[in-house]
Structure 1
Amino acid sequence: MRVLPFLFLFVIFSAQAQPVQRPQLSVTKLNEQVYIHTTYGIYGKTPFPANGLIIKTKDGVVLIDTGWDTDTNTDNTRQLLQWVSKNLHQPVRLCIITHAHEDKVGGINELHKAGIRVISTPLTAQKSIKLGFESPEGILPNDTTFTVGQEPIQCYFPGEGHTSDNIVVWLPNQKILYGGCLIKSVAAFGMGNLADANLNTWAGSIRNVMKNFGNARIVVPGHQDWSDTKSLDHTLKLLEKHTAGQK
């Protein structure tokens, strides 16, 4: 009779000891040239989605951000490269890193192993090294537009917010804005990870984005669902709510 409580406790302990499983990569098509790649990390002991872009050009594929990986586990980025090869049948020419957190730069060594060039701003490159990741090429100015396979891509630093190095990426031909973690999804109820945030400048940075890219058809945040420009206003409201709660 004394064995049953023991067995019960063993089952409970075993269930708690099991590592949390991350869902597999998912890819969502926005149009014939642009896709969203979504990978999962563990945040608050539960799987949480992180978004990036796959841009198909006439001269190969450009990725915006890696999968959500760590320096010892790059399965998400490996799956991402496999998906591109299988479904788009083009090489990945370039990856742009939007800031130095593991949900954006974590898979960089997987890209380097595949011979893929990875670029960022100088600050993101410096911060990546400090976090223990391989360094992107820190060559991006704070505001620059370049073209890959006839597809113009603008990288823009609007000011500090989620981090001191966060940039956004604008696709003018597609009217698609990748806001990264500077922008909160309309599905978000809070500000999320604020460890490296600048709450004093974040709202101004959002307004700079709105001023420059207010004609966006789709705004893709760094996490969770995407929509039209409502996520920009939603981010401002979350910031106001957070600031009010701190008083």
Structure 2
Amino acid sequence: MISLLSARIRGLLVSFCLSTGLLCVSPAVHAQEKPLLIEKINPKLYLYTTFNTFDGTKYAANAVYLITKKGVILFDTPWDSTQYQPLLDSIKQKHNLPVIAVYATHWHEDRAGGFAYYNHIGIPTYATKMTNDLLKANHKAQAAHLVDLNKTYKIGGQSFVLNFFSPGHSMDNVVIWFPEYKILDGGCFIKSSEAQDLGFTADGDVKSWKPSLARLLTKYPQINMVIPGHDAWKDNGQIKRTEALLTEKK
């Protein structure tokens, strides 16, 4: 009887949605979300999101790619290994451009986990020496090339900088600065405005994190957009929330 009643209620709800033109989305529909989401930040910079589970909870991992005249540059790899190739396919279909490089902001799986795959298919991979050393120590695939910190890279008419302000979430976490747009890709060094805690910190240095963040803000006092490593990214509360969480941790 209960199941029959539930089915009738669902049927009435669907009929109501169709008749009123409303978009009614149930939790079951939310659970069927696409494994790869791509959103436009500006004509040259896009955010892509993949998903995975940590300690029984599903999280979104944010990363970006940059469109240049020479091709597309990925900053971090998908957290979901099933999306390594679909991301390339989506970029090719959307922009008719190949991915020409992959950079990682630190050594964890949600950032550098795809190095083995991209190395195998011949896409150049890049990371700092710190990141490569940690990948090697943890028996993970390393980047094929090392990067210079605090250097402005100019590729195909676009530019970016990799900065390291000291440990935080991890011992090697770098951020990506896009000077033309004043956009900061914070990776896991920056928390979402909706974050309830600092997340996994066993591989980092929480005591160094707040001073590291202060150094970042001194170098880049004017930031138009901050992209956190996980979850909500469209508001402007990421820096304040990260500061608040670090203050609470003391």
Q: CA RMSD in A?
A: 1.7
Corresponding residue of 2:242 = 235
Q: 1:26 aligns with which of 34, 37, 43?
A: 37
Which range moves more in the overlay, 22-31 or 93-102? 22-31
Q: How does 1:161-180 map to 2 (within 5 A)?
A: 161-180=168-187
Q: Give the superposition deviation at 1:126.
A: 1.3
Q: Is the 8 A contact 1:217 1:228 kept in 2?
A: no
Q: Give the superposition deviation at 1:21.
A: 8.6
TM-score (norm 1): 0.84
Please say if 1:52 is aligned against 2:63.
Answer: yes
Give the secondary-structure state (helix, strand or coil) at the position aligned to 1:205.
helix
Q: Give the superposition deviation at 1:34.
A: 0.5
Q: How does 1:156-235 map to 2 (within 5 A)?
A: 156-227=163-234, 229-235=236-242
Q: Give the superposition deviation at 1:214.
A: 2.3
| Structure 1 CA distance for aligned equivalents of residues 211 and 235 of structure 2 | 20
Amino acid corresponding to residue 225 of structure 1 in structure 2:
A
Amino acid corresponding to residue 36 of structure 2 in structure 1:
L
Please say if 1:94 is aligned against 2:105.
Answer: no
Please say if 1:103 is aligned against 2:115.
Answer: no
Identity rate, percent: 31
* Gapped regions of structure 2 (runs ≥ 5): 1-30
Q: Is the 8 A contact 2:119 2:144 kept in 1?
A: no
Corresponding residue of 2:160 = 153
| Structure 1 CA distance for aligned equivalents of residues 126 and 230 of structure 2 | 21
Give the secondary-structure state (helix, strand or coil) at the position aligned to 2:118.
helix
Q: Is the 8 A contact 2:149 2:161 kept in 1?
A: no
Which range moves more in the overlay, 93-102 or 106-115? 106-115
Q: Give the superposition deviation at 1:138.
A: 5.0
Q: Is the 8 A contact 1:64 1:95 kept in 2?
A: yes
* Gapped regions of structure 1 (runs ≥ 5): 1-19
Please say if 1:68 is aligned against 2:79.
Answer: yes
Q: Give the superposition deviation at 1:81.
A: 1.0
Distance 1:150 1:39, change over 3 A: same
Report the count of equivalent residues.
Answer: 220
Corresponding residue of 2:28 = none
Q: Give the superposition deviation at 1:179.
A: 0.5
Q: Is the 8 A contact 2:50 2:60 kept in 1?
A: yes
Which range moves more in the overlay, 187-196 or 210-219? 210-219
Q: Is the 8 A contact 2:125 2:143 kept in 1?
A: yes
| Structure 2 CA distance for aligned equivalents of residues 105 and 53 of structure 1 | 13
Q: Is the 8 A contact 2:153 2:161 kept in 1?
A: yes
Q: Give the superposition deviation at 1:130.
A: 2.4
Q: Is the 8 A contact 1:84 1:90 kept in 2?
A: yes
Amino acid corresponding to residue 61 of structure 1 in structure 2:
V
Q: Give the superposition deviation at 1:224.
A: 0.8
Corresponding residue of 1:4 = none
Q: 2:86 aligns with which of 79, 88, 95?
A: 79
Show CA shifts across 1:64-101 (max 9, x none).
000014xxxx2122221111111111011111100000
